[in-house]
């Protein structure tokens, strides 16, 4: 957001227009973040509303060590994760069937991963492939999906993701590796034939 210092001054002075500008400039992006994590429109909207209220109440304590949008992003992620924790816990879905299996000699059993004909960047630019990737991410069990979203989509560091999820950095690394492998397994049959 342009003019963070000026906006921060206006927010701290209680100017209503500054709050409205922040909502207009960041609201849609923050809603997209909450949707990715919660996969429920109503809960995502609630999480964003709660995050903005929390941010506005604590604006006086914001130290300015990062951009306002970055600070707000963290609050939205935290709000969405709190909603996830509040849900009735379902038994964790196994992910093993999506992971590659290896023989004793180190070679992959069944359908070894082949190179895709186009690079991942080129493939993701195509609308149908973006939808396929989104749908495949949604199929991942929640604990793996959340780590993948926080690290690869929201671009949080391993330590930031670990803190937000209440797990160790090592657990984040393991889950992220397994989530990426599972995502590759889900995408492989669809992307092997795509040409650049």
d(CA 91, CA 94): 9
Q: Does domain 96-191 have CATH number 1.10.10.10?
A: yes
pLDDT band at 1 (very low <50, low <70, confident <90, very high): very low
Other C-beta atoms closer than 10 Å to the C-beta of 114 total: 9
Give residue-wise pLDDT tens across range 104-136.
Answer: 776 666 655 555 555 555 655 677 778 888 899
Q: What CA–CA distance (Å, rounded) separates 48 from 132?
A: 26
* H or E stretch at 31: helix 16-38
pTM: 0.66
User: Does the 4-86 domain belong in CATH 1.10.10.10?
Assistant: no
Give the residue extent of every domain in the chain: 4-86, 96-191
Model pLDDT for residues 74-110, shown as the tens digit of each residue = 999 999 999 988 876 666 667 777 777 777 776 666 6
Q: What is the pLDDT of residue 145?
A: 93
According to the model, what pLDDT value does residue 121 have?
A: 59
pLDDT at residue 107, as a whole number: 61
pLDDT in tens, 145-163: 999 999 999 999 999 999 9
């Amino acid at each position: 957001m342009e003019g963070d210092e000026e906006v921060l001054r206006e927010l701290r002075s209680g100017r209503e227009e500054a709050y409205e500008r922040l909502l207009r400039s960041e609201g849609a992006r923050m809603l997209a973040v909450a949707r990715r994590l919660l996969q429920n429109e109503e809960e995502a909207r609630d999480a964003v509303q709660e995050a903005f209220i929390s941010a506005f109440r604590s604006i006086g304590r914001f130290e300015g060590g990062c951009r306002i949008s970055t600070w707000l992003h963290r609050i939205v992620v935290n709000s969405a994760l709190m909603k996830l924790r509040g849900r009735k816990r379902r038994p964790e879905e196994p992910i093993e069937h999506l992971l590659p299996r290896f023989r004793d000699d180190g070679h992959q059993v069944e359908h070894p991963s082949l190179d895709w004909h186009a690079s991942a960047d080129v493939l993701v630019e195509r609308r149908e492939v973006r939808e396929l990737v989104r749908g495949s991410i949604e199929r991942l069990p929640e604990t793996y999906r959340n780590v993948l979203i926080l690290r690869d989509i929201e671009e949080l560091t391993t330590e930031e993701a670990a803190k937000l999820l209440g797990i160790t950095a090592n657990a984040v690394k393991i889950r992220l590796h397994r989530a990426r492998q599972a995502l590759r397994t889900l995408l492989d049959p669809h992307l092997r034939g795509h040409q650049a």
